[in-house]
A and B are shown apart, each in its own frame.
Chain A
Amino acid sequence: MHEMSIAESVLQIIEDRARADGYARVNAVWLEIGQLAGVEKESLRFCFEVVTRDSVARDARLEIIETAGKGWCMECARSVAVAARYEPCPYCGSFLVRVTGGEEMRVKELEVE
């Protein structure tokens, strides 16, 4: 259930910004979550709704932008798509693939009033 910690961290970021810049309300939140970040999106939505009650972001719309997993195949020496960590290189079948992208978890934008 670390989606709850993640939702709390998102709220903390929102509240910090709201205090610093003086927003009364946050209507929408855009998150960028990598495909390999290990975050269950539906669970995160649920937790976000729970933690934002009674906050500046209550009833805020949560938009999740999923970024694709990427890796570097050491056999082919090229960048490949990685849908899951245990998947082999789609070209040569080797497991010598190092993940290079798709692990992001970022608050990108807010729509505020």
Chain B
Amino acid sequence: MCMTCGCGKGNTLTGGHAPAQKRKPGQQMKYRAHREGAVHAPGHEHSDSHGGMDFGVGPAGAHAPGLSQARMVRIERDILAKNNDYAVENRRYFSEHGIFALNLVSSPGSGKTTLLVKTIAALNGAQPLAVIEGDQQTDNDAARIRAAGAPALQINTGKGCHLDAHMVGQAMQRLALKEDSLLLIENVGNLVCPSGFDLGEAHKVVMFSVTEGEDKPLKYPDMFSAARLMLLSKCDLLPHLDFDAGLAEENARRVNPGIRVIRVSASNGMGMEEWLEWISSGCRNAAAARYCITEPELQLAPTQL
């Protein structure tokens, strides 16, 4: 359809798609007479009923209103391109310094901070690490991490519902990350928004506690499909609950066939060994792959690798 006057249909394709027709069936199209000098895309012509015939190519090869000087410009830019540019910078830094970065995501209250505290205690200084904590308000979580003996920086997002790569980049500078270290980024508790924002991490790790519903992966599929690893947390409570852990894992695999699942409990230590081994192998790979990551690999979010 011509955007200048609304005449005809099917002539304009934007990226191969026709714009949605708003006109209801049977309703008359309202025509607006062209002003002199109006130009139309090739193959697009008007009847005499609204002014002179005119053919031509607009600046974008599509539309070209005349006297108003309005014109179409192609942009073709990813909406999250700015975030992704920052994420690439973060990933480059991680690669050059052999840092293994994880982005921990979950709904609020699934036990991310508790698991981190236990993880720090279990590593007991054997692995240099730092933590970035994201919450809307308060410094409580960073304080808990510092009390556990690791450097931590709190980012308060205010009204924001997720961390973005720019925030993480700034936090990294202030934390002075060590060579070949582990960076744990605890995102804002939210199973929706953080899925779309690449922070430059190696992997997203999604936590899902057994006090939630087994169908959580189906309700929030974007997050579960973006994650490489799912930690099913609070598993020490399983005997007391009517929760089918097998079904929960099956649901996660419906959304993401390649997701790895570890059942953990920060309280009784279940699964901690496997989780720590997964971290250690990631750290070894990151240290070994220092500078080996190619430019195209840096550009890709972990879900695309």
**Residues of A near any B CB (own CB < 8 A):** 1-2, 5-6, 9-10, 12-13, 17, 21, 27-28, 30-32, 36-38, 63, 65, 67, 74, 84-86, 88, 95-99, 104-113
Known A-B contacts A2-B196, A65-B14, A86-B254; the reply to A27 vs B70 at CB < 8 A is yes
A6 to B162, CA, bound (A): 12
Known A-B contacts A1-B193, A2-B192, A113-B70; the reply to A107 vs B77 at CB < 8 A is yes
**Residues of B near any A CB (own CB < 8 A):** 3, 14-15, 17, 19-20, 60, 63, 68-83, 160-162, 164, 192-193, 195-197, 217-218, 221-222, 225, 251, 253-255, 257-258
Which of A31, A36, A65, A96 gathers the greatest number of chain B CB atoms within 10 Å? A65
Q: Please name 19 further chain A to chain B contacts, defined as beta carbons within 8 Å, in addition to the given A30-B19, A31-B79, A113-B70, sorted by A numbering.
A: A2-B161, A2-B162, A2-B197, A13-B77, A13-B79, A32-B17, A38-B222, A65-B17, A86-B217, A86-B221, A96-B257, A97-B257, A105-B78, A105-B79, A107-B75, A107-B79, A110-B72, A111-B70, A112-B72
Q: Nearest CB to that of A98 among chain B residues?
A: B257
A37 to B83, CA, bound (A): 16
A2 to B190, CA, bound (A): 11
Our pick among B71, B77, B83, B225 for the contact of A106 (Cβ within 8 Å) is B77
A108 touching B76, Cβ below 8 Å: yes
A50 to B160, CA, bound (A): 16
A96 to B77, CA, bound (A): 31
Which residues on B sit within 8 Å (CB–CB) of A110? 72-73, 75
Sampled A-B contacts (11; CB under 8 Å): A5-B160, A5-B193, A6-B80, A9-B83, A65-B17, A86-B217, A88-B254, A96-B257, A105-B78, A110-B75, A113-B68
Known A-B contacts A10-B79, A105-B79, A109-B72; the reply to A99 vs B17 at CB < 8 A is no
A102 → chain B closest CB, angstroms: 12
Which residues on A sit within 8 Å (CB–CB) of B162? 2, 5
Which residues on A sit within 8 Å (CB–CB) of B72? 109-112
A39 → chain B closest CB, angstroms: 8
B73 touching A63, Cβ below 8 Å: no
Which residues on B sit within 8 Å (CB–CB) of A86? 217-218, 221, 251, 254-255
A100 → chain B closest CB, angstroms: 10
A38 to B79, CA, bound (A): 13
A95 to B218, CA, bound (A): 12
Which residues on B sit within 8 Å (CB–CB) of A88? 254
B74 touching A108, Cβ below 8 Å: yes
Known A-B contacts A2-B196, A95-B253, A109-B73; the reply to A65 vs B79 at CB < 8 A is no
Which residues on A sit within 8 Å (CB–CB) of B225? 85, 99
A5 to B164, CA, bound (A): 10
A111 touching B14, Cβ below 8 Å: no
A84 to B251, CA, bound (A): 14
